[in-house]
Homo-oligomer: A and B are copies of this chain.
Amino acid sequence: MSDHGLHLQAIARVVSPYREKFGIPRQAGLVEAARGWLEMVPEFARPEAFEGLEGFERIWVIFGFHACEGRYRLRVRPPRLGGNREVGVFASRSPFRPNNLGLSLLGLEGIEQVDGRLRLRVSGMDLLHGTPVYDIKPYLPYADAHPDAAAGFAAQPPSPVLAVHFGERADAVLREQPGLRELIVQTLTLDPRPAYRKGQDQRRYGMRIEGFDVRWQVEGDRAEVEAIVPVGAEDAPGLSASD
């Protein structure tokens, strides 16, 4: 084509615990407990296309920021700069970018075939549920790993900042949901609030993780999880509207 355009078709769809944009970790690998699947579309649910991949510990996933599609900014405000300094979009991993392509390095936990379906079990996700995947490539340390590369304003990982505590009702829910506690702790400790909120803040926050609304407040350096409510059960007996 004259514009060297390229039409992509999804080869897989993401099954993720993150059901809405708010709260998703800002890079892959920050929340190892964020496990899910890449569910191949039928055309590529072919075991021969994955032969040899089981020997790789990590995979690159090129995907579409489908919830931001068609929108971009030339300058963005990265959260790690406190949200008050702008950089160019190509100096960032912002989803609001030309072509809306994302790149995530995920842990490969397994390759599963059941009933003609094929899916990859992955960890360290920073992906919204339903994200379309356009490519999967093996991670090659000899080409891809440069631990000492200078990285401007993003040289250090964001550090965990909040201690996460669960109230009694939240704790009761977690006792019946193995794995969910670790996922919530790893997600909330990164403090997903927008940077401009990180001063004094009495606001209640909520995010969807798996089938639950997780609700918390921040007090100082603590995130207090007040409720973990099965989605659709908000009006169930014992939960008041003020939850």
Measuring CB to CB, which residues of chain A are less than 8 angstroms from any residue of chain B? 3-11, 13, 27-30, 44, 46-58, 60, 62, 64, 66, 69, 74-75, 86-93, 97-101, 103, 105, 132, 134-157
Contacts and interface: CB of A to CB of B under 8 A. Distances in A.
Contact of A90 (B49, B97, B99, B141): B49
Nearest to A75: B48
B51 A88 contact: yes
Given A4-B64, A7-B5, A145-B147, A27 B90 contact: no
Contact of A134 (B49, B55, B101): B101
Contacts of A27: 140, 142-143
A52 B75 CA distance: 10
Contacts of A92: 52, 137-138
A186 to B, nearest CB: 15
